[in-house]
Structure 1
Amino acid sequence: MARIRTGARVVGLVLAAALGVAGCSATGGKRAEERARAAAEQGRPAVSTPRWTFAMVTHAGDGDTFWDIVQNGAKEAARKDNINFLYSHDDQAQQQAQFVQNAIDQKVDGLIVSLAKPEALKDVVAKAVKAGIPVVTVNSGSEQSAAYGALTHIGQDETVAGEAVGTELNRRGRKKAVCVLHEQGNVGHEQRCAGAKKTFDGTLENLYVEGTNMPSVQAAVQAKLQADPSVDAVVTLGAPFAPTAVKAKQTAGSKAEVDTFDLNASVAAGLKDGSLGFAVDQQPYLQGYEAVDLLWLYRYNADVLGGGKPVLTGPQIVTKDQAAELESYIKRGTR
């Protein structure tokens, strides 16, 4: 079995703690596990705590498969923890802030929010904290999370993830790369490209595209590759953009390798057939699952993981061999 290169270790303390609540003895632990399995099979929550309501508000655009996986993780944890889970999203920061305000008005018991454009959400997150709503940030905004009053941040360090990409490009002998940014103003995207540029021994240029218009994305990447045949690597910052970059490469007659951040079924297929070189997986299922579970732990037992630091879920470099290894998980929507 191929081994996935890991940039951050994720320790399963939450599961161990949950299974240990029933008692210290081996028999007690076994019975707790049996009860949890029975509850899962019957669609019942695995706990008998109050039915709290948690809201998640993200910067996801319509049709973004990455956030589908985040939701899958959050919903699974919500079912296990007896949580009423509410989800809303918008790629416009102003609307995202309004959704957070709506959650405050509903007096939710916990709030999960992504901070792709942190300044636009600073005031409304502060309102949630002031109202006594525990907040966990997820995916974007690790640098602002603590300052905004959040309990912790769950995701990958985008600079570290970018550095991993630069190192991988070096390993593959690439000399000139283009980093395709599909959402201007997204601090995480800027950090990814800056991190890659930091460790990449070759030349890396940023290419800004209109992410909401996929034909325009293809045209922009194609034009860049036609104008500069020396480009031998294209890095996209989201799984939905990888196949588009492949089409642009083919139309341009370029031999550049296309690599991407994030993983979905389409990217896995591209890794397997060789049209994509590698992907950077930040384990979105884990982000959604842990965000809900950590809020539950805080409400139930005042527990906080991370020690004031972000809880890292990536990066992992996934190549052809690893994609095959993860195929069954990808198909069920958890990777």
Structure 2
Amino acid sequence: MDRSSRPRSRGIFPVVAAAAAAVLLVAGCSSGSGGKKAEESGNDVSAGKADTPRMTVAMITHAAPGDTFWDTIRKGAQAAAAKDNVKLIYSSDPSGPNQSNLVQNAIDQKVDGIAVTLAKPDAMKAVVAKAEKAGIPVVGFNTGVQDWKKQGLVEYFGQDESIAGEAFGRRLNEAGAKHTVCVIMEQGQVALEARCAGVKKTFQGNTEILYVNGTDMPSVRATITAKLKQDNSIDYVTTLGAPFAMTAIQSIADAGTKTKLATFDLNKDAVGAIRSGKIQWAIDQQPYLQGYLSVDSLWLYKTNGNYSGGGEAPVLTGPAFVDKTNVDKIAQFAAKGTR
């Protein structure tokens, strides 16, 4: 994507642009389950739809089957599609080559814009370049904050995972932790690796990495339990997703230890666990906002020539800490599936 005609902004990590933020008042649509097959939405809105010409946006993620985190992202994307008169085609695959094929499918369909995650950036580089060569604007979200500019994407919406990890590590220091195990559910996934690397950078205690098979929750539970039984010096478990935090609660009970738990990402169940003290805190990256802004930004770009961050800086949606001091304020939104 040619950036030469754009003004060169040097601001550091701007807050979400006002034009994009204003549209967040629109209510969301319901979300379905993920999967490899492309699914369409944005056709069932009775009010508030833009009167601009119909456009088609493909959203392609690295979501694994059954990972409910992506339901929240899709809910935000569907709300933006409904407001903007956009036909949204969603598809996903955790395999880098397969995700690349899904992007190629979108190019072949001559969509008006593509929103993509870059969990495996090397696997996506060639096909993203093909989309840009075909004149299709591409935005990044959720994963790929270190790679979106290198690959010529128009904008990026998400959390800087290194910054989030470093903030998490400092929070562990404040909690008096001495030894944490950081549970990665997909080895080699750049965002997850960056989170644990950030924790290790700032945490003054001992950080261990524990790889688990994120598509097999019974195995995750057993692996964490075995680790805790093996080493009773572990006083904090760090998980990288709310469903894995809920599983880790079971592991801690199975191991019979007093290990504490904190996590990245949030959902309704994690909110309840924070209230009860089973989770000490969570870092929220606002996935609903990532999905919403990704679709809405492509509409703004095509309709008005607008883009957030001046084409230079990502639009950060996190990290935001949720703990007992503010969880009640977040709970109403988590219950609706928007936090």
What's the TM-score, normalizing by structure 2?
A: 0.88
Q: Which protein shows a greater Rg?
A: 1
Gaps of 5+ in 1: 1-7, 20-32
- CA shift digits 1:238-260 (9 cap, x unpaired): 11101111111111111111111
Question: Gaps (5+ residues) in structure 2?
Answer: 1-12, 28-43
Of 76, 80, 91, 1:77 maps to 80
The reply on whether 1:241 has 2:244 as its aligned counterpart is: yes
Matched, 1:213 2:216: yes
Identify which range, 157-166 or 46-55, moves more after superposition: 46-55
Deviation of 1:16 (Å): 6.7
Residue type at the aligned position of 1:10 = V
Task: Give secondary structure in 2 for the equivalent of 1:223.
Answer: helix
Distance 1:15 1:188, change over 3 A: closer
Whether contact under 8 Å (1:45, 1:82) holds in the other structure is: no
- 2:15 maps to 1:13: no
Q: Which amino acid aligns with 2:289?
A: L
The alpha carbon displacement at 1:11 in A equals 4.0
Q: What is the TM-score when the length of structure 1 is the normalising length?
A: 0.89
Kept in 2, the 8 Å contact 1:272–1:321? The answer is: no
Question: Per the alignment, do residues 64 and 194 of structure 1 end up closer, same or farther by CA in structure 2, a change over 3 Å counting?
Answer: same
- Tell me the equivalent position of 2:122: 119
More helix per residue: 1 or 2? 1
Residue type at the aligned position of 2:266: L
Q: What is the alpha-carbon distance in structure 2 between the residues aligned to residue 320 and residue 83 of structure 1?
A: 39
Q: In the alignment, what sits opposite 2:132?
A: 129
Distance 1:250 1:9 in 2: 42
CA contact (8 A) 2:14 2:309 kept: no
Q: Quick one: distance in 2 between partners of 1:90 and 1:331?
A: 27
User: Quick check: 1:66 aligned with 2:99?
Assistant: no
Match of 2:30?
A: none
The CA distance in 1 between the partners of 2:22 and 2:220, in whole Å, is: 46
1:171 to 171, 174, 185: 174
- The equivalent position to 2:309 in structure 1, one of 306, 311, 322, is 306
Residue in structure 2 matched with residue 91 of structure 1 by the alignment: 94
Amino acid at match of 1:13: A
- C-alpha distance in 2, partners of 1:270/1:142? 30
Deviations 1:295-326 (A, max 9, x none): 11110111111121111000001112322211
Q: Would you say the 8 A contact 1:73–1:334 is kept in 2?
A: yes
SS in 1 for 2:186: coil
Match of 2:336 among 318, 325, 332: 332
Q: CA deviation at 1:93?
A: 1.5
Give the % identical residues.
Answer: 52
Secondary structure in 2 matching 1:321 = coil
Q: Does 1:156 align with 2:159?
A: yes
Alignment of 1:279-290 (within 5 A): 279-290=282-293
- Asked whether the equivalents of residues 177 and 235 of structure 1 are also in contact (C-alpha less than 8 Å), the reply is yes
Question: 2:5 matched to which residue of 1?
Answer: none
**Distance between the aligned counterparts of 2:336 and 2:232, measured in 1?**
39
Task: Tell me whether 1:265 sits opposite 2:261 in the alignment.
Answer: no
Q: Do the aligned residues in 2 keep the contact of 1:110 with 1:135 (CA within 8 Å)?
A: yes
Q: Deviations over 1:117-146 (max 9, x none)?
A: 111111111111111000001100111111
Separation in structure 2 between the aligned mates of residue 45 and residue 82 of structure 1, nearest angstrom: 9
Partner amino acid for 2:15?
V
Distance 2:20 2:91 in 1: 27
> Any conservation in 1 of the 2:165–2:197 contact (CA below 8 Å)?
yes
CA distance in 2 between partners of 1:175 and 1:253 (Å): 19
Q: Given residue 325 of structure 1, which amino acid in structure 2 is its aligned partner? A: K
Q: Distance in 1 between matches of 2:284 and 2:154?
A: 24
On the 8 A contact 1:139/1:156 being kept in 2, the answer is: yes
Instruction: Determine the structure 1 residue equivalent to 2:326.
Output: 322
Indicate if the aligned counterparts of 1:175 and 1:202 stay in contact, CA closer than 8 A. yes
Please, what is the CA RMSD of the aligned residues? Answer: 1.9
Q: How many residues align?
A: 310
Counterparts of 1:282 and 1:158 in 2: how far apart (Å)? 9
Q: Which of 100, 104, 116 pairs up with 1:101?
A: 104
Partner of 1:30: none
